[in-house]
C-alpha cells in the first residue's frame, strides 16, 4: 500500500536530528532500529533502507541538551510494509533487550513506541488496509486500544529480522507546537487537511485521505517555543512535493500568509509558527 506516500501528494520524506553522542546514536539506529548507514562523514550520518534516506544525524558545534517543554519532536513514525514485519521487529527488540515505552492499536494502524538514547520519541507502525478505516464525514476514527502483542509476535516468527525492510518509510511526524489553530493555519497553506482532533490538545492532518501525515499537539504547553538551534532533537524534516509547480504554489501561499519561506537551489526552506523547520523538496 503505497498510495499515501507518493505523487501527487505532499508527504513526509525524511528528518534530521541534532545529536550529542554520534557514536551511541549511530549504533542505536543501526543495531537496535535496523537502519542501514548510507553515508558517513565527519559529523553527519545518513541512515535509511534500500538506498532511501529516512534519517540524518548531525552533530552541531557547541551542541546542548534540549531544554524541556519546547516545541519540536514528539515522535517520528516509521511505517513498515505490513504487520508481519511489525511482529518481526517486536521479536528483534525483545531478543536484543531494547525497551519499548508502549504499544497501541489505533484502528487505522498498529503502533509501537520507544525512545532513542537522547530521548527522541520513535513510533514504528504498520497500517491497517485503508479499506477498513472508518470515516465520519471527513474525519477518520482513530482509537487507542491495547496492541495484540502476542498475535504480532506469533506472526513475525516466520520472518528473520535482517533490518528495516524494503519499502520502509517515514510514515508521519508528530510535533509539539505552541498553538493548534495557529499551526493549522500554516499547514493548511501547504495543502494539509484536518482529518482528526483530540479536543483542544491535538490535531491530525494529511493529504489525499491518509489517517495523518502530521500530528500536532500542545502537550508541552500552550505557547511552547522552539529550542535553540544547537539543541539536541529535531533539526528539520523534509516534505515531498510532486513537482516544481506545486512547490512554487506552496511558496506563494506561505508568502501570502507572511510565513518564512525561501527557495534556494530547488529546496523550499520554511518553518511552522512554533519554529519547527521544514524543507520542501521535489520528490
Ligand atoms: Fe504517531
**122 alpha carbon – ligand 1 mean position (Å):** 8
Measure the CA dihedral 144/149/152/156, to 10°.
Answer: 140
273's CB contacts (< 8 A; 6+ apart) are 177, 178, 179, 182, 183, 185, 186, 259
Judge whether 141 and 135 are in contact, CB under 8 Å: yes
**220 alpha carbon – ligand 1 mean position (Å):** 16
Three cell numbers written together for 33? 532500529
Residues 215-230: b if buried by 16+ CB within 10 A, e if exposed: bbbbebeeebebbeee
Judge whether 204 and 195 are in contact, CB under 8 Å: yes
| pLDDT number for residue 1 | 59
Sequential DSSP letters for 116-131: -TT--EEEEEEEPPGG
* ∠ CA 13-139-181, rounded to 5°: 70
**157 alpha carbon – ligand 1 mean position (Å):** 25
**62 alpha carbon – ligand 1 mean position (Å):** 30
| pLDDT number for residue 42 | 84
| pLDDT number for residue 2 | 81
**78 alpha carbon – ligand 1 mean position (Å):** 9
Q: How many CB atoms neighbour CB 16 within 10 A?
A: 19
| pLDDT number for residue 85 | 98
Q: How far is CA 160 from the centre of its chain?
A: 25
Q: Which residues of the chain have pLDDT under 70?
A: 1
**256 alpha carbon – ligand 1 mean position (Å):** 30
Comparing C-alpha atoms, which of 57, 60, 27, 29 is closest to residue 44? Answer: 57
CATH 3.30.420.40 fits 11-282, yes or no: no
Measured distance CA(162)–CA(69) in Å, rounded: 37
| pLDDT number for residue 239 | 98
**105 alpha carbon – ligand 1 mean position (Å):** 11
Judge whether 248 and 242 are in contact, CB under 8 Å: no
**19 alpha carbon – ligand 1 mean position (Å):** 21
**79 alpha carbon – ligand 1 mean position (Å):** 10
Amino acid at each position: 500500500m503505497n498510495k499515501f506516500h507518493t505523487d501527487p501528494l505532499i508527504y513526509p520524506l525524511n528528518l534530521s536530528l541534532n545529536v550529542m553522542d554520534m557514536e551511541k546514536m549511530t549504533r542505536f539506529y543501526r543495531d537496535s532500529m535496523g537502519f542501514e548507514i548510507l553515508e558517513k562523514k565527519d559529523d553527519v550520518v545518513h541512515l535509511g533502507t534500500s538506498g532511501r534516506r529516512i534519517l540524518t544525524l548531525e552533530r552541531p558545534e557547541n551542541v546542548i541538551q534540549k531544554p524541556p517543554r519546547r516545541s519540536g519532536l514528539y515522535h517520528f513514525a516509521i511505517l513498515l510494509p505490513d504487520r508481519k514485519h511489525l511482529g518481526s521487529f517486536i521479536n528483534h527488540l525483545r531478543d536484543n533487550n531494547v525497551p519499548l515505552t508502549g504499544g497501541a492499536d489505533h484502528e487505522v494502524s498498529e503502533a509501537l513506541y520507544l525512545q532513542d538514547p537522547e530521548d527522541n520519541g520513535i513510533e514504528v507502525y504498520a497500517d491497517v488496509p485503508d479499506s477498513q478505516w472508518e470515516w465520519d464525514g471527513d474525519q477518520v476514527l482513530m482509537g487507542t486500544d491495547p496492541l495484540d502483542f502476542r498475535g504480532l509476535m506469533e506472526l513475525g516468527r516466520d520472518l528473520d529480522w535482517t533490518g528495516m525492510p524494503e519499502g520502509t518509510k517515514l510514515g508521519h511526524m508528530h510535533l509539539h507546537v505552541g498553538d493548534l489553530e495557529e499551526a493549522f493555519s500554516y499547514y493548511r497553506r501547504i495543502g494539509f487537511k484536518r482529518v482528526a482532533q483530540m479536543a483542544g490538545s491535538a490535531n491530525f492532518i494529511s493529504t489525499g485521505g491518509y489517517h495523518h501525515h502530521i500530528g500536532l499537539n500542545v502537550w508541552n504547553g500552550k505557547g511552547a517555543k522552539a529550542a535553540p538551534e544547537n539543541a539536541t532533537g529535531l533539526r528539520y524534516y523534509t516534505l515531498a512535493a510532486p513537482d516544481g509547480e506545486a512547490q512554487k504554489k506552496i511558496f506563494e501561499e506561505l508568502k501570502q500568509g507572511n510565513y518564512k519561506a525561501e527557495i534556494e537551489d530547488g529546496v523550499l526552506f520554511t518553518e511552522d509558527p512554533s519554529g519547527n523547520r521544514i524543507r520542501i523538496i521535489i520528490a
